[in-house]
Amino acid sequence: MTDDARDGDIAAAEADLPVIDMSVPSIARVYDAFVGGKDNYEVDRALYRQVLEFAPEAPAFAREHRDWLIRVVRFLAGTAGIDQFLDCGSGLPTAENTHQVAQRVNSEARVVYVDNDPVVQAHGRALLEENDRTRFVAGDLTDPAALLADPMVRGHLDFNRPLALIQCSTIHHVPDSQDPNGIMVAYIDALPSGSYVALTHWYDPADGSGVSATARRIQDLFNNGGLGSATFRSRAQIESLFTGLELLEPGLTRIADWWPSGPRLKPLADIDDIVLGGVGRKP
C-alpha cells in the first residue's frame, strides 16, 4: 500500500468522526473501564461502579472475555489457516487486539475493524497509521448490506476466500425489533465456504438462579442507564444465531470452557455463566 493511499484512508476516517458527547455513557467506554483502560469518562465509570456493587468479579470476567477472543483468533489464524478477519463492534483497543494476535501467527493476516462509537473511531484512525494490514470502518454492524458493500471492507478483504467474522459481545445489544437473526443470516450468507464466525452473547437461563438474577440486573442497568439496548437471551436463541454453520467442539459454552489454556485454579462466579460463546464454520 502506498503512502498516498494510506493518507487517503486516514483523511477519510478523520472526516467521518462525529463529536464525542462526554455526558452520555458509551458501551465501548464502559467495557474499557472493566478491562482497566483509560479511554473512559466519569459517566462511564459511574455505571461501572454500579455493576461492581452486585458483581465485584466483573473486571476479572471482562479480562476472561478478552482471553477467549485471543484463544479464538490464535486458533483461526493458526490451525484453521484464516488470514483475513472482519471484527464487528471491535471496541476500544487494549492489549492483544485481533490484528496483533493474528499477525503474530501470520504476519500477512489482514483485519478490518468496525465500530460506530466516536472514541473507537478516533483510535481506528491511529490503527491505520501503525499497521498497513489493518483498516477501520466507521460503520453500523446492524446494517450488514451497507457494511459488506463498504469500499474499505471490499478493498481489504477477499470474499472469494475464507475469512473470519467476529461478533464478540455485539448481538446482545441488538434488540429483537431489529431482527438479530436476520442480521446474522445476512452476514453468514455473504461468507464464502470455509469461513468462520466467532460470537459471544449474554445469556439468561431464566431459572430463578443467582445467575439469572445477575443477568436481569445487568440488563436493567444497561437499558436504564442511557446505553441503549441490552438483551439477555436463552441458549436456544443464541444457538439460532449460528444457523447455517457447523459449531466446533465444545459447542456453545461458557467462555471459560472454550478450549482454556490450562486447568481452572479458581471457582467460577455467577457472572461467569452469563455469557456463552462459540465458533462456527460455514460448510
Q: Which domains does the chain have, with CATH numbers?
A: 3-281 (3.40.50.150)
The whole-number pLDDT of residue 15 equals 47
The whole-number pLDDT of residue 7 equals 44
Question: Is the per-residue pLDDT at 277 higher than 70?
Answer: yes
The whole-number pLDDT of residue 98 equals 93
The whole-number pLDDT of residue 104 equals 96
Question: Is the per-residue pLDDT at 8 higher than 50?
Answer: no
Instruction: Tell how strand 84-88 and strand 253-254 pair up.
Output: unpaired
Displacement of CA 186 from its chain's centroid (Å) = 17
The whole-number pLDDT of residue 231 equals 94
Place of cell 477472543: 69
pTM of the model: 0.86
Task: Kindly report, residue by residue over 206-263, the tens digit of the pLDDT.
Answer: 999 989 998 998 888 878 866 678 899 999 999 999 999 999 999 999 999 999 988 8
The whole-number pLDDT of residue 19 equals 59
Identify the burial level of 183 via C-beta atoms within 10 angstroms of its C-beta, where 0-12 means exposed, 13-18 middle and 19 or more buried: buried
The whole-number pLDDT of residue 198 equals 98
> Averaged over 86-111, what is the pLDDT?
89
Per-position b or e across 48-78, b if 16+ CB within 10 A of its CB: beebeeebebbbebbebbbbbbbbbbbbbbe
Task: Kindly report, residue by residue over 32-83, the tens digit of the pLDDT.
Answer: 777 777 777 888 888 778 777 767 877 777 788 889 999 999 999 999 999 9
Residue 84 DSSP code: E
Task: Kindly report, residue by residue over 141-190, the tens digit of the pLDDT.
Answer: 999 999 999 999 999 999 999 999 999 999 999 999 999 999 999 999 99
Question: Is the per-residue pLDDT at 1 higher than 60?
Answer: no
Helices (H), 78-225: 98-105, 118-130, 144-148, 151-156, 180-190, 210-224
> Helix (H, G, I), strand (E, B), or coil: what is residue 247?
strand
The whole-number pLDDT of residue 49 equals 86
